[in-house]
Amino acid sequence: MSRLEVRKTYKLWIGGAFVRSESGRYDKAGATNIPRGSRKDVRDAVTAARKAAAPWAARTAYNRGQILYRAAEALESDAKRFDRAEVDEAVDLLIHYAGWTDKLHAVLGGVNPVAAPFLSFSVPEPTGVVGVIAPDEPSLLGLVREIAPALAAGNTVVAVLSETEPLPGLDLAEVLGVSDIPAGVVNLLSGRRQELAIALGAHRDVNAVIDAAHVGAELDRLGAETIKRVRHWSGEENPLQRLEALTELKTAWHPIGA
Protein backbone atom coordinates (compact mmCIF):
# COMPACT_ATOMS: atom_id res chain seq x y z
CA MET A 1 0.00 0.00 0.00
CA SER A 2 1.50 3.35 -1.03
CA ARG A 3 1.71 6.15 1.52
CA LEU A 4 0.62 9.73 1.06
CA GLU A 5 3.37 12.31 0.75
CA VAL A 6 3.65 14.70 3.68
CA ARG A 7 3.17 18.12 2.16
CA LYS A 8 5.48 20.84 3.29
CA THR A 9 4.02 23.75 5.24
CA TYR A 10 5.95 26.96 4.66
CA LYS A 11 6.09 29.57 7.42
CA LEU A 12 7.60 32.98 8.06
CA TRP A 13 11.01 33.21 9.74
CA ILE A 14 10.81 35.63 12.68
CA GLY A 15 13.02 35.76 15.75
CA GLY A 16 14.72 32.47 14.94
CA ALA A 17 11.45 30.54 14.71
CA PHE A 18 9.11 29.40 11.96
CA VAL A 19 5.77 31.07 12.59
CA ARG A 20 2.43 31.22 10.83
CA SER A 21 1.26 34.57 9.56
CA GLU A 22 -0.63 36.44 12.26
CA SER A 23 -3.48 36.99 9.81
CA GLY A 24 -3.75 33.33 8.84
CA ARG A 25 -3.77 34.34 5.16
CA TYR A 26 -2.03 32.40 2.41
CA ASP A 27 -1.29 32.89 -1.27
CA LYS A 28 -0.98 30.10 -3.81
CA ALA A 29 2.23 29.24 -5.68
CA GLY A 30 1.20 26.27 -7.80
CA ALA A 31 0.10 23.62 -5.32
CA THR A 32 1.98 25.28 -2.46
CA ASN A 33 0.53 27.61 0.15
CA ILE A 34 2.71 30.67 0.78
CA PRO A 35 2.18 32.50 4.08
CA ARG A 36 0.94 36.03 3.46
CA GLY A 37 2.56 38.27 6.04
CA SER A 38 0.71 41.17 7.61
CA ARG A 39 1.64 44.50 9.17
CA LYS A 40 1.58 42.76 12.56
CA ASP A 41 4.16 40.28 11.27
CA VAL A 42 6.32 43.23 10.20
CA ARG A 43 6.08 44.70 13.70
CA ASP A 44 6.97 41.34 15.28
CA ALA A 45 9.96 40.97 12.95
CA VAL A 46 11.22 44.48 13.71
CA THR A 47 10.87 43.81 17.45
CA ALA A 48 12.94 40.62 17.07
CA ALA A 49 15.55 42.45 14.97
CA ARG A 50 15.81 45.29 17.48
CA LYS A 51 16.28 42.85 20.36
CA ALA A 52 19.08 41.09 18.46
CA ALA A 53 20.77 44.29 17.20
CA ALA A 54 22.94 45.19 20.20
CA PRO A 55 24.29 41.65 20.85
CA TRP A 56 25.03 41.17 17.13
CA ALA A 57 26.82 44.52 16.84
CA ALA A 58 28.80 43.73 20.01
CA ARG A 59 30.33 40.59 18.51
CA THR A 60 33.83 40.91 17.18
CA ALA A 61 34.23 41.48 13.45
CA TYR A 62 36.14 38.21 13.26
CA ASN A 63 33.27 36.32 14.87
CA ARG A 64 30.69 37.84 12.50
CA GLY A 65 32.90 36.75 9.63
CA GLN A 66 32.99 33.20 11.00
CA ILE A 67 29.19 33.14 11.27
CA LEU A 68 28.72 34.39 7.70
CA TYR A 69 31.18 31.75 6.52
CA ARG A 70 29.19 29.09 8.39
CA ALA A 71 26.01 30.33 6.67
CA ALA A 72 27.78 29.88 3.33
CA GLU A 73 28.74 26.33 4.34
CA ALA A 74 25.14 25.54 5.30
CA LEU A 75 23.84 26.93 2.00
CA GLU A 76 26.44 24.96 0.02
CA SER A 77 25.51 21.72 1.77
CA ASP A 78 21.81 22.24 0.96
CA ALA A 79 22.37 23.52 -2.58
CA LYS A 80 20.24 20.84 -4.24
CA ARG A 81 16.98 22.57 -3.31
CA PHE A 82 18.00 25.78 -5.14
CA ASP A 83 18.86 26.77 -8.69
CA ARG A 84 22.49 25.67 -9.06
CA ALA A 85 23.83 28.79 -10.76
CA GLU A 86 22.09 31.07 -8.27
CA VAL A 87 23.15 29.17 -5.19
CA ASP A 88 26.80 29.04 -6.26
CA GLU A 89 26.93 32.80 -6.61
CA ALA A 90 25.00 33.30 -3.35
CA VAL A 91 27.53 31.11 -1.50
CA ASP A 92 30.40 33.10 -3.03
CA LEU A 93 28.75 36.36 -1.94
CA LEU A 94 28.41 35.20 1.67
CA ILE A 95 32.07 34.18 1.74
CA HIS A 96 33.08 37.47 0.13
CA TYR A 97 31.28 39.53 2.77
CA ALA A 98 32.58 37.26 5.53
CA GLY A 99 36.01 38.48 4.51
CA TRP A 100 34.93 42.13 4.73
CA THR A 101 33.89 42.09 8.39
CA ASP A 102 37.36 42.70 9.88
CA LYS A 103 38.42 45.14 7.16
CA LEU A 104 35.66 47.74 7.49
CA HIS A 105 37.48 49.75 10.16
CA ALA A 106 40.61 50.00 8.05
CA VAL A 107 38.77 50.91 4.83
CA LEU A 108 35.99 53.19 6.10
CA GLY A 109 37.59 54.54 9.27
CA GLY A 110 40.95 56.07 10.08
CA VAL A 111 42.76 59.11 11.40
CA ASN A 112 41.54 62.45 10.01
CA PRO A 113 44.04 65.22 9.12
CA VAL A 114 43.18 68.37 11.11
CA ALA A 115 45.02 71.71 11.36
CA ALA A 116 44.88 71.93 15.15
CA PRO A 117 46.44 70.31 18.22
CA PHE A 118 43.89 67.49 18.15
CA LEU A 119 43.82 63.86 17.17
CA SER A 120 40.68 63.16 15.14
CA PHE A 121 39.65 59.67 14.12
CA SER A 122 36.55 58.00 12.70
CA VAL A 123 35.25 54.48 13.22
CA PRO A 124 32.36 52.78 11.37
CA GLU A 125 29.40 51.51 13.38
CA PRO A 126 26.28 49.58 12.33
CA THR A 127 23.22 51.54 11.28
CA GLY A 128 20.92 49.22 13.29
CA VAL A 129 17.81 47.49 11.95
CA VAL A 130 17.79 47.35 8.15
CA GLY A 131 14.67 46.67 6.11
CA VAL A 132 15.31 44.89 2.80
CA ILE A 133 12.84 44.81 -0.08
CA ALA A 134 14.22 41.95 -2.18
CA PRO A 135 13.82 41.90 -5.97
CA ASP A 136 11.52 39.43 -7.69
CA GLU A 137 14.42 37.83 -9.51
CA PRO A 138 16.89 36.39 -9.06
CA SER A 139 14.94 35.45 -5.97
CA LEU A 140 17.66 33.73 -3.91
CA LEU A 141 20.69 35.64 -5.17
CA GLY A 142 18.84 38.97 -5.06
CA LEU A 143 17.97 38.36 -1.40
CA VAL A 144 21.47 37.27 -0.37
CA ARG A 145 22.98 40.21 -2.26
CA GLU A 146 21.09 42.59 0.04
CA ILE A 147 21.24 40.85 3.43
CA ALA A 148 24.92 39.80 3.34
CA PRO A 149 26.42 43.33 3.44
CA ALA A 150 23.94 44.38 6.13
CA LEU A 151 25.05 41.47 8.33
CA ALA A 152 28.74 42.01 7.59
CA ALA A 153 28.41 45.63 8.75
CA GLY A 154 26.85 44.47 12.04
CA ASN A 155 23.19 45.22 11.29
CA THR A 156 20.12 43.05 11.77
CA VAL A 157 17.67 42.51 8.92
CA VAL A 158 13.95 42.30 8.22
CA ALA A 159 13.53 41.23 4.59
CA VAL A 160 10.47 41.15 2.35
CA LEU A 161 10.95 38.26 -0.07
CA SER A 162 10.30 38.10 -3.81
CA GLU A 163 6.56 38.33 -4.40
CA THR A 164 6.56 36.18 -7.54
CA GLU A 165 9.10 33.57 -6.37
CA PRO A 166 9.13 33.48 -2.57
CA LEU A 167 9.99 29.79 -2.14
CA PRO A 168 13.80 30.15 -2.42
CA GLY A 169 13.70 32.81 0.31
CA LEU A 170 11.57 30.61 2.54
CA ASP A 171 13.92 27.70 1.87
CA LEU A 172 16.83 29.96 2.82
CA ALA A 173 15.18 30.38 6.24
CA GLU A 174 15.63 26.63 6.80
CA VAL A 175 19.31 26.97 5.89
CA LEU A 176 19.74 29.87 8.32
CA GLY A 177 18.01 27.80 10.98
CA VAL A 178 20.91 25.34 11.00
CA SER A 179 23.64 27.97 10.67
CA ASP A 180 25.14 29.96 13.54
CA ILE A 181 23.24 33.18 12.84
CA PRO A 182 21.59 34.15 16.16
CA ALA A 183 17.82 34.37 16.50
CA GLY A 184 16.38 37.66 15.31
CA VAL A 185 19.41 38.74 13.28
CA VAL A 186 17.66 37.77 10.04
CA ASN A 187 13.86 37.79 9.66
CA LEU A 188 12.16 36.76 6.41
CA LEU A 189 8.61 37.70 5.39
CA SER A 190 6.63 36.54 2.37
CA GLY A 191 3.44 38.14 1.11
CA ARG A 192 2.22 41.15 -0.84
CA ARG A 193 5.22 43.43 -1.34
CA GLN A 194 3.38 46.74 -1.31
CA GLU A 195 1.65 45.98 1.97
CA LEU A 196 4.79 44.77 3.73
CA ALA A 197 7.20 47.34 2.25
CA ILE A 198 5.03 50.27 3.30
CA ALA A 199 4.65 48.88 6.82
CA LEU A 200 8.42 48.41 7.00
CA GLY A 201 9.16 51.88 5.67
CA ALA A 202 6.73 53.47 8.14
CA HIS A 203 8.12 51.67 11.20
CA ARG A 204 10.02 54.11 13.40
CA ASP A 205 12.33 51.43 14.81
CA VAL A 206 13.79 50.63 11.37
CA ASN A 207 16.96 52.63 10.71
CA ALA A 208 17.41 52.08 6.97
CA VAL A 209 15.60 50.51 4.03
CA ILE A 210 17.23 48.94 0.97
CA ASP A 211 14.77 49.00 -1.92
CA ALA A 212 16.00 46.50 -4.52
CA ALA A 213 12.48 45.99 -5.90
CA HIS A 214 11.85 49.60 -6.98
CA VAL A 215 8.90 50.24 -4.68
CA GLY A 216 9.64 53.89 -5.28
CA ALA A 217 8.76 57.34 -3.97
CA GLU A 218 6.41 56.19 -1.20
CA LEU A 219 9.38 54.68 0.64
CA ASP A 220 11.28 57.96 0.27
CA ARG A 221 8.36 59.86 1.80
CA LEU A 222 8.11 57.41 4.70
CA GLY A 223 11.86 57.54 5.19
CA ALA A 224 11.74 61.33 5.44
CA GLU A 225 8.88 61.18 7.95
CA THR A 226 10.64 58.62 10.18
CA ILE A 227 14.22 59.91 9.65
CA LYS A 228 15.67 56.81 8.06
CA ARG A 229 17.87 56.44 5.00
CA VAL A 230 16.35 54.77 1.94
CA ARG A 231 18.55 53.41 -0.84
CA HIS A 232 17.21 52.23 -4.20
CA TRP A 233 19.65 49.65 -5.51
CA SER A 234 19.85 48.55 -9.14
CA GLY A 235 21.96 45.44 -8.53
CA GLU A 236 25.10 46.97 -10.03
CA GLU A 237 26.51 48.53 -6.85
CA ASN A 238 29.89 47.27 -5.67
CA PRO A 239 30.39 45.67 -2.22
CA LEU A 240 31.99 48.75 -0.70
CA GLN A 241 29.03 50.93 -1.75
CA ARG A 242 26.64 48.48 -0.11
CA LEU A 243 28.67 48.32 3.09
CA GLU A 244 29.18 52.08 3.30
CA ALA A 245 25.44 52.67 2.90
CA LEU A 246 24.74 50.62 6.03
CA THR A 247 27.32 52.05 8.41
CA GLU A 248 27.52 55.24 10.44
CA LEU A 249 30.84 56.99 11.01
CA LYS A 250 31.51 58.08 14.58
CA THR A 251 34.23 60.72 14.83
CA ALA A 252 36.11 61.50 18.04
CA TRP A 253 38.44 64.43 18.83
CA HIS A 254 41.22 64.17 21.40
CA PRO A 255 43.49 67.06 22.50
CA ILE A 256 47.23 66.66 22.02
CA GLY A 257 49.79 68.31 24.31
CA ALA A 258 49.16 71.03 26.91
Residue 32 maps to a domain = yes
Q: What is the pTM of this model?
A: 0.93
Share of the chain above pLDDT 70, in %: 99
Least confident of 3-17, 40-54, 114-128: 114-128
- Domain total for the chain? 1
Q: In the prediction, which pLDDT does 206 show? A: 98
Residue 183 lies in a domain: yes
Percent of the chain with pLDDT over 90: 79
Angle between helices 139-152 and 167-177 (to 10 degrees): 40
What is the number of other CB atoms lying within 10 angstroms of the CB of residue 99?
13
Q: Is residue 7 part of a domain?
A: no
Has residue 151 got a pLDDT over 70? yes
**Rounded Cα–Cα distance for residues 170 and 179 (Å):** 15
> What pLDDT was estimated at residue 109?
83
N- to C-terminal Cα separation, the chain: 90
Cβ count near 96 (within 10 Å): 15
Q: Which domain holds residue 227?
A: 12-255
For residue 32, the 8-state DSSP code is: E
**Residue whose C-alpha is closest to residue 203's, from 227, 233, 231, 232:** 227
> Residue 210 pairs with which residues in a beta bridge?
132, 231
In a domain, 2, yes or no: no
What integer pLDDT is reported at residue 164 of this predicted model? 94
User: Among 203, 179, 244, which residue's Cα sits nearest to residue 41?
Assistant: 203
> Phi, psi (5° rounding) for residue 170?
-70, -35
Average pLDDT over every residue of 1-10:
83
Is the pLDDT at 179 greater than 70, yes or no? yes
Residue 66 lies in a domain: yes
Q: Which residue has better confidence, 111 or 128?
A: 128
Please check whether residue 6 lies inside any domain of the structure.
no
Q: Which of 68, 67, 202, 61 lies closest to 131 in space, CA to CA?
A: 202
Average pLDDT of span 196-202: 97
Residue 258 has pLDDT above 60, yes or no: no
Q: What is the pLDDT of residue 125?
A: 94
> Does 1 fall in a domain?
no
Answer for the pair 150, 56: CB distance below 8 angstroms, yes or no.
no
pLDDT of residue 194: 95
Q: Tell me, what CATH number does 231's domain have?
A: 3.40.605.10
With a cut of 90, say whether residue 95 has pLDDT above it. Answer: yes
